[in-house]
Structure 1
Amino acid sequence: MSSTSYFTASSSSTPSSPHRIHDVFLSFRGGDTGFTFTEHLYKALVGRGIRTFRDDKMGSGEGVAPELLKVIEESRSSVIVFSENYFHSRRCLDELVKIMECQKDLGQAVFPIFYHVDPSHVRKQTGSFGEAFADYEENWKDKVGRWRTALTEAANLSGWHLLDG
């Protein structure tokens, strides 16, 4: 299936699924990829007529705004750009949990991109990702289990592993 036909295909709204406003919700850590890879990806998607939402449009901070959760729900799919510092943002991890919930509950497609990171490190939370989680275990015990599950599920999906810029 070509990405263009997937993203531009129309679907009817049902009471159990929200109205789809965006074709793609783009999740990324801005400091790692915001003005390089992710910017090029965003422009390429928009240039192909794919309605794409970048999560940097709702401000910064660690909390995920309810409006952003709604945007995730109203998207047909999500592209997650996992990068070296993605895991150092609780906001990114909370977004990821919501994305994976929408995949299960609403049938959204999820496409992971591993940007200069090893997919197995994401899957198992090892390497620098393990270090980030060691800090979280102490202060965010209520969320760590959901974050770990979401990371493992996302890393088990077919995606792209990019080693070069």
Structure 2
Amino acid sequence: MKASSSSSSLPSGPPSSWPPESRECTYDVFLSFRGEDTRRTFTDHLYAALVRAGVRTFRDAEGLRRGENIAEDLVEIIQGCRISLIVFSENYADSSWCLEELVQIMECRKTQRQRVFPIFYHVDPSHVRNQTGIFAHAFERHEATVHQGRDKIARWRAALRGAANLAGFDIAARHEAEFTVEVS
């Protein structure tokens, strides 16, 4: 498996063993993704493979994403997961919702020791990390339209940089089916 930073794989063994904390979790895995990019393709296959493997996986229902602020119940779901898989795709950074979700995920990584694995779906990990290329264009648009200003954008940039610095998976040169089988 080709990892973006260093070799990485999801923990093996029964989902209840990741991580070793005793807190009760509703889901084992939270999938973060830009729906219009991957909902009916890669993320759908990944979700199905995880469910077949017995991993309790949350993916949002179509139509859940409305407005700029993530709902409290979604924050609780993120906080209740042991692992987050972030599917970075071409239009991920266009979505203020995805970026807010990412900030929450990275906060849970810090405060609750949640495991976070980035998946680079046909995007260059360095573009995510440094907000260059298509990610730079997305931030130019955000800077022109985000009403809460620079603090919010700075949090988004920091979360992207932090997530992209984690060992993850770059599947640009991989068959999607192979990847989903290996992950599950």
State the TM-score, normalized to the length of structure 2.
0.81
Q: Give the distance between the partners of 2:65 and 2:104, measured in 1 at CA.
A: 17
Q: What RMSD over aligned residues (CA atoms) do the two structures have, in Å? A: 1.7
Q: Which residue of 1 aligns with 2:167?
A: 158
Shift in Å, 1:99: 0.1
Equivalent pairs counted in the alignment come to 160
- Give 5+ residue unaligned stretches, structure 1: 14-18
Query: In the alignment, what sits opposite 1:54?
Result: 59
Tell me if 1:3 matches 2:8.
no
Q: Equivalents in 2 of 1:154, 1:75: separation in Å?
A: 17
SS at match of 1:27: strand
Does residue 121 (structure 1) correspond to residue 131 (structure 2)? The answer is no
CA distance in structure 1 between the partners assigned to 2:123 and 2:10 by the alignment = 26
Q: What SS does the corresponding residue of 1:95 show, helix, strand or coil?
A: helix
What is the alpha-carbon distance in structure 2 between the residues aligned to residue 5 and residue 58 of structure 1? Answer: 34
Judged with a 3 Å threshold, the aligned counterparts in structure 2 of structure 1 residues 37 and 2 are, in CA distance, closer, same or farther, namely closer
Shift of 1:55: 2.4
Alignment of 1:4-153 (within 5 A): 4-5=12-13, 7-9=15-17, 11-13=21-23, 19-56=24-61, 59-62=64-67, 63-140=69-146, 141=149, 142-153=151-162
Does the C-alpha gap of structure 1 residues 32 and 2 become closer, same or farther in structure 2, counting only changes over 3 Å? Answer: closer
Name whichever structure is richer in helix by fraction. Answer: 1
Q: Which amino acid aligns with 1:149?
A: A
Instruction: Quickly say closer, same or farther: Cα 1:147–1:161, change in 2 above 3 A.
Output: same
Describe the shift of the 1:54–1:5 C-alpha distance in structure 2 as closer, same or farther (beyond 3 A): same
Relative contact order higher in (CA < 8 Å, ≥ 6 apart): 2
- What SS does the aligned partner of 2:61 have? helix
TM-score by length of structure 1 reads 0.90
CA–CA distance in 1 between the matches of 2:38 and 2:14? 25
CA, structure 1 residues 57+26, in 2 after alignment: closer, same or farther (shift >3 Å)?
same
Contact 1:111–1:158 (Cα < 8 Å) also in 2: yes
5+ long unaligned stretches in structure 2: 1-8, 177-184
Distance in 2 (alpha carbons) for counterparts of 1:51 and 1:88 = 28
Deviations 1:78-132, CA, capped at 9 Å, x for gaps? 0000000111110000000000000000000001000000000000000011011
Contact 1:8 1:50 in 2 (8 A): no
